[in-house]
Amino acid sequence: MAEQTLKEKTAKGLFWGGLNTGIQQILNVVFGVFLARLLSPGDYGLVGMLGVFMGIATVLFDSGFGLALINRKEVKHDDYNSVFWFSFLVGVICYVVLFFSAPLIADFFGHIELIDLSRILFLWFLIGSTSVAPSAMLMKKMMFKERAKVDICAMIFSGVVGVVLAIKGFAYWGIVIQTVANSLVGTVLRWYYVSWHPTLTFKIAPLKEMYVFGIKVFLTNVFSQINANIFSILLGRFYKPEQVGYYTQGNKWMNMGYSFVWNMIGGVSLPVLTEVVADVKRQQNVFRKMLRFVSFISFPSMLGLALVAQELIVIGVSDKWLPCVPIMQLLCVWGAVAPIGNLYSHVLLSHGKSELYLYCTIFLGVFQLIVVICMLPFGVYYMVLAFVVVNILWLFVWHYFVNKCIEVHVLDVLKDVLPFFSITIAILGVTYFITKSIENIYMLFISKVIVAVFLYCMSMYLSNSVIFKESISFLLKKNN
């Protein structure tokens, strides 16, 4: 593939990924504000307790085969067909098991409401199990525009459903039905756009061929889901639902910013890195350019979100959610560097190093779990602080293995990352001192955003940032 063609595909993916996540986050804010004002921390806490079960079940019906399809050089009908039937069967089994396990789940957390709640909520992954193959097809074929339409339509429909139910007094059921509706609409639209249909000629051979890669990704994702939901488990078991709700709300708002950054590049990075895997030097250059782009977007977005967290929460969802602000700010620090870790993992996966991906994730999870449990008596704030520190330090572990694949040194990474980090910290500091005398919370929020964005853009322009100029050039080209 010619370099220009690869660059065009990458740029197209970044554009549609950014547009998709940007619109989604706007919708998330709109619907999130309505729901958070209508519902209580306890409502969010009850649903949040079930996050780990949904996450693990999702990993089970995917079993790493979705990523294996994307990473496969040539994909045939039999490959997609085998993955579809496997995923659907596992989805059915998972739902049946969890349906009858609902009383045990409710007993573990001590909330009888979770029986009916979980049985309806778990329909989400029963429906989603049918979309593994078409989702992989959309990514494999780099159908970024179609993916954007699917996600946005599903978000609008499910968001309206959730808000209407909350207004009608259905409490946490609004969140549950919203989640199921999102899965249903998204699945239907994915099938519509891929124009592909499964057949009854199921073959086990394609699964065997993808098993070695897929099983390691599967095990990795299991540990990743446990790691991601460790707070909901521990807080749900040892604290009140309100504490789970504060964490869930803080994590939700942080994830809006994080999703904007990673979804923009995450759907592009693995296919592109896989495309150039045969040329180590070329892949190194592609990786470093992606690293600079991630740093250019992630640091100002996530650390800026931390700067306006208090104003955003009070204006958006009222001061009853103020306890979630320090949690959200700490998580934003993690969210600023998490895309770098994800980019590292995609390099390993592009080289078929799913075993390294697995081992790194397992050891990270164990280390993280030990540290977080040690912080359990000190409260959620120190638990989150420990989580953030561990994950930042683990970037050096990811880097060690990536360096073995593409010979990218720590100094190269620091050279790509530190300029954006330093400029961001300096600008946010200046913004804080310029706006700290403003008392009106609405003016304070607007002023912080305008000042920080203006100073950051000016800094990028004056420093002749190549990434900044290329981004502006591409956007102007799109508008012509």
CA angle (168 as vertex; 162, 170 as ends), nearest 5: 65
Question: Which residues, including other chains, have CB under 8 Å from residue 444's CB and lie 6 or more apart?
Answer: 311, 435, 438
223 and 304 part of one domain: no
Least Cα distance to 421 among 349, 337, 356, 344 occurs for: 337
DSSP state of 112: T
Residue 159 maps to a domain? yes
Asked, for residue 100, whether it belongs to a domain, the answer is yes
> Mean pLDDT of residues grouped by 10 in the chain (480 residues)?
51 59 68 69 70 70 67 74 83 86 84 85 84 79 76 85 82 82 87 83 74 66 68 66 74 80 72 78 86 90 92 82 88 90 86 80 83 82 87 91 87 91 94 91 92 92 84 62
Are residues 418 and 275 part of one domain?
yes
Q: 299: Cβ–Cβ under 8 A, 6 or more apart, which residues? A: 336, 420, 421, 424
Q: Measured between alpha carbons, how far is 120 from 97 in angstroms, rounded to an integer?
A: 14
Is residue 33 situated within a structural domain? no
In-domain check, residue 137: yes
Q: Is residue 365 part of a domain?
A: yes
Residue 197 lies in a domain: yes
Are 467 and 337 in a shared domain?
Answer: yes
Determine the structural domain holding residue 179 and report its residue range: 39-239
Residues 286, 427 within the same domain: yes
Together in a domain, 222 and 367 = no
From the CB of residue 58, how many other CB atoms can be counted at a distance below 10 Å? 18
pLDDT value, residue 430:
95
pLDDT on residue 1? 38
**In the prediction, which pLDDT does 109 show?**
76
Tell me, what's the pLDDT at 4? Answer: 45
Residues 353, 214 share a domain: no
- In this predicted structure, what is the pLDDT of residue 67? 65
Write down the pLDDT at residue 299.
Answer: 93
Residue 256 is assigned to a structural domain of this protein: no
Half-sphere exposure of 182 (CA within 13 A, CB side): 22
165 lies in the same domain as 303: no
Cβ-based burial of 375 (10 A; exposed 0-12, middle 13-18, buried ≥19): middle
**Domain check: are 191 and 281 in the same one?**
no
Nearest-angstrom CA–CA distance, 110 and 95: 22
Residue 231 confidence (pLDDT): 64
Domain end residue (candidates: 177, 205, 239): 239
In a domain, 204, yes or no: yes
Contact 83, 136 (CB under 8 A): yes
Q: Identify whether residues 274 and 231 lie together within a single domain.
A: no
Residues 348 and 445 in one domain: yes
| One domain, residues 280 and 380 | yes
One domain for residues 329 and 469? yes
The number of distinct structural domains making up the chain is 2
